[in-house]
Amino acid sequence: MSIKQPSSKQRSSKQHFLELAVELATLHSAGGRCGPFGAVVVYQDQVVGQGWNQVVSCCDPTAHAEVMAIRDACKTLERHELSGCEIYASCQPCPMCLSAIVWARLDRVFYAATKDAAAKAGFDDARLYAAFTEQQLPTLIASEYLALESAEKVLADWRKNPNKVDY
C-alpha cells in the first residue's frame, strides 16, 4: 500500500493557510495581551473565519484562536456546523479546541507547531492531553502536522516578551 503524497499545489496552499494563522499569532501577540496562537477556517480554498488567542484581552478562558476562528466562520457561513471546512492553526490545538473542532464538524486540522513547542513557551496542557490519549485523537478527526519555523518562533518570542500576561 503506497501513501499518497500531497501535490506541490496542495502543499503550497496548506502552507499558505498555515502561514496566515502564524501571521495572526505574530501580529496579535506582540503586545502581550493576546497569546501567541492564530487560526483560520477554510472552505473551498477561501478563508471564511479567522481567530487569534484573546483569553486575556476578552477575559474569557475559552477565547482560544481555534474557537474564535470557528465562531467567525459560523457567522460568515451562517450555519452552526462547518462540515466541508478545514482549520489551520499556528499550533497543535489543545484538548478544548480539538473538542470544539470535532463538535463543529470540521473535516481536518493542520497545525504548524506542536504542543511540545507550546509547552516550552509556558503553555503546558499535559494534564489535559493525558485525559485524551494520543491513541484516541486520530479517531476523532484527521490531523496533520506541517512544521513551520515561524510558528515556533512566535512561541519563543512570546516566552521572552516582557509585556505578556501569563495565563
Residues belonging to the active site? 66
Query: Are 122 and 156 in contact, with CB atoms under 8 Å apart?
Result: no
Q: Which three cell numbers stand for residue 166?
A: 501569563
The contacts of residue 17 (CB under 8 Å, 6+ apart) are: 40, 42, 47, 86, 88, 110
The contacts of residue 34 (CB under 8 Å, 6+ apart) are: 28, 52, 53, 54, 55, 56, 57
